[in-house]
């Protein structure tokens, strides 16, 4: 078995653990720092919206010897707007100028064709009107709003409202960090970017629901046991799924990285690059948020519940009493209250969680030799 597989087995059986819930304030700090950097980058640099959102023109040349710098300067001199020039894999150039109307687009096209030594008709042009761009922007915002509302309603019905709050906090982190990276690096926002962002939010939600399901399984009988606090049981759920989440994310990132780095280099980008770029950033952020944000937020909300707080006080008081010298009787009492543990982490200070007797072991002692001989 590989080291990662061995670690996953130990986490699942409770032989190793990491205290995600106990260190949640650290992860809150990391999350707030990432979101603050992203928001500052967004406020300072802003987003570079593609022509689909602003309107403008895209000129695609045939294979040419014109350099990127020459094409950029020519388009800038004619249009007065800083263009984006991308070299395609075939040796052609893609020149994008936002904010052009029909007349300005034709002037820019003619200047570029003259510089290239081509007929104007030979230069492929795609023109997008600003009104269509405004409509695309509003539809993208509406789609995102509807998605978040439906997700909140589903989680509140399928699980509980606290889990919906935790999932929304994780999704907010993913959305802000992804947008912040786009702003800081200067990536272009296109309809493909919007599709990619909606996809990664769905993926992040899926990963979060898997963790929540395990947490729900571990905490549903909270009041029926007196060995673990709520936070410790929630930690069991995270530890039982953390390796699975990482493995799933790595497997998903590999083909996305192939699309992003290999596909963009060989095929010249386009929609393929726009989708894979947002997926690559969002998958990484989503893996972090599903483990380090969603369940800790849920635990904080649940720990405000009077019943949960009363139960935790009882557990901690019993644990302290056993540690203070209740002697053999106290130790036996603790072991007798142990619940079967199938996943996660043991309480602080222990290596493995005690195992309750198997059902088949009850009432069975050693086999006694028969007193009668045959």
Asked whether residue 142 carries a pLDDT value surpassing 70, the answer given is yes
CA angle (23, 27, 29) in 5-degree steps = 115
Which residue range(s) make up the domain with 278?
3-49+132-302
pLDDT band at residue 296, thresholds of 50, 70 and 90? very high
Predicted pLDDT of residue 102: 75
Burial 199-224 (b: 16+ CB within 10 A, else e): ebbebbbebbbbbbebbbebbeebee
pLDDT digits (tens, 9 = 90+) for 82-95: 788 877 766 788 88
pLDDT digits (tens, 9 = 90+) for 35-89: 999 999 999 988 888 777 777 888 888 887 778 888 888 888 877 777 888 777 6
Beta strands at 84-87 and 124-128: parallel, antiparallel or unpaired: unpaired
Q: Are 266 and 144 within one domain?
A: yes
Asked if 87 and 93 count as a contact pair (C-beta separation under 8 A), the reply is yes
For the chain, the domain total comes to 2
Q: Are 249 and 273 within one domain?
A: yes
Which span out of 15-19, 168-172, 225-229, 332-336 was modeled with the highest average pLDDT? 168-172
Alpha-carbon distance of 190 to 137, in angstroms, equals 10
Predicted pLDDT of residue 337: 39
Prediction pTM value: 0.71
Which of 240, 269, 302 is at the close of a domain? 302
High-pLDDT (> 90) share of the chain, %: 9
70 in a domain, yes or no? yes
Which of 109, 128, 147 is at the close of a domain? 128
At a CB cut-off of 8 Å and minimum separation 6, what does 32 contact? none
What CATH number is given to the structural domain containing 12? 1.20.1640.10
322 in a domain, yes or no? no
* Higher per-residue pLDDT: 100 or 269: 100
Q: Are 103 and 158 within one domain?
A: no
High-pLDDT (> 70) share of the chain, %: 76
Q: Are 118 and 144 within one domain?
A: no
């Amino acid at each position: 078995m590989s080291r990662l597989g061995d670690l996953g087995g130990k986490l699942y059986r409770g032989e190793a653990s990491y205290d995600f819930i106990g260190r949640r304030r650290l992860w809150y700090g990391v999350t707030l720092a990432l979101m603050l950097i992203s928001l500052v980058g967004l406020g300072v640099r802003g987003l570079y919206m593609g022509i689909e959102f602003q309107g403008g023109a895209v000129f695609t040349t045939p294979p040419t010897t014109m350099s990127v710098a020459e094409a950029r300067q020519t388009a800038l001199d004619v249009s007065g707007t800083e263009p984006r020039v991308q070299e395609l894999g075939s040796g052609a150039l893609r020149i994008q100028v936002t904010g052009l109307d029909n007349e300005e687009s034709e002037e820019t096209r003619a200047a570029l064709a003259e510089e290239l030594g081509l007929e104007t008709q030979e230069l492929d042009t795609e023109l997008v009107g600003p009104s269509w761009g405004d409509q695309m922007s509003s539809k993208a915002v509406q789609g995102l709003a509807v998605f978040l509302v439906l997700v909140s309603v589903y989680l509140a019905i399928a699980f509980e409202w606290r889990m919906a709050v935790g999932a929304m906090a994780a999704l907010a982190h993913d959305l802000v960090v992804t947008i912040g990276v786009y702003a800081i690096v200067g990536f272009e926002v296109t309809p493909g970017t919007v599709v990619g962002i909606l996809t990664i939010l769905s993926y992040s939600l899926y990963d979060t629901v898997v963790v929540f399901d395990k947490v729900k399984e571990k905490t549903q009988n909270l009041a029926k046991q007196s060995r673990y606090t709520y936070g410790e049981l929630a930690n069991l759920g995270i530890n039982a799924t953390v390796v699975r989440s990482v493995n799933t994310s790595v497997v998903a990132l590999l083909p996305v990285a192939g699309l992003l780095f290999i596909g963009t280099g060989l095929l010249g980008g386009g929609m393929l690059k726009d989708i894979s770029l947002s997926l690559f950033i969002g998958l990484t952020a989503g893996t972090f948020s599903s483990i380090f944000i969603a369940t800790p937020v849920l635990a904080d909300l649940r720990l405000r519940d009077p019943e949960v707080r009363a139960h935790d006080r009882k557990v901690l008081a019993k644990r302290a009493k056993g540690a203070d010298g209740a002697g053999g009787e106290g130790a036996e009492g603790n072991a007798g209250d142990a619940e079967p543990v199938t996943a996660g982490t043991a309480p602080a200070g222990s290596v493995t969680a005690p195992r309750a007797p198997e059902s088949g072991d009850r009432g069975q002692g050693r086999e006694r030799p028969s007193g009668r001989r045959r």
